[in-house]
Amino acid sequence: MPGLTKGMIADVKKKPYISLPKDFFSNPAVDGMKAAMVIYFERSGEIRLIPMTKEAGARVRLEVEKVNPALMQTMTHLFKQHDLKVLFTTGFCFEQNRCVYEVYFAADGIREKEAEIRQTIESIPGLYESEFELLEIDGEW
């Protein structure tokens, strides 16, 4: 009987490359897949792989006074305006007035959109710092 998931154990110290199951490529849920976003969580060592139908993407890291409705409205508008597909987002507040919000998204033609995206990000109220990292196929860590 088919399951919901598949699992395996890999000795990643001996073999740092992991192959995907053949069923992955025939799964209708990933039709139109052009690439996959791979996200490495430095604190936990966890890795996520998210199929993408877009050609490239980016990581945006914002350090803000607080995660508030204005921030979320600006980001939502940004995603819609530039056809950015949100793949993963996280946020946490490590001090009373300091929060980090990180979002990964997929997009076609990301290089052409970069300047306008950066300009919108810089206009966020309560922004202390921001990072914008382009992620393209065959990029390295």
Q: Please, is 54 exposed, middle or buried when counting C-beta atoms within 10 Å of its C-beta (0-12, 13-18, 19+)?
A: buried
pLDDT in tens, 46-57: 999 999 999 999
Q: List the domain range (segments joined by +) for residue 126.
A: 57-136
Q: How confident is the model at residue 2 (pLDDT cuts 50, 70, 90)?
A: low
State yes or no: pLDDT of 1 exceeds 60.
no
Output the average pLDDT for the chain: 90
Q: Is residue 128 part of a domain?
A: yes
Domains held by the chain: number = 1
pLDDT in tens, 15-48: 888 889 888 999 999 999 999 999 999 889 999 9
Per the CB < 8 A criterion, the answer to whether 63 and 129 are in contact is: yes
Q: Is residue 26 part of a domain?
A: no
Q: Which pLDDT score is estimated for 16?
A: 87
CATH number at residue 129: 3.30.70.260
8-state DSSP, 68: -
For 74, how many CA atoms within 13 A lie in the half-sphere containing its CB? 19
Q: Is residue 15 part of a domain?
A: no
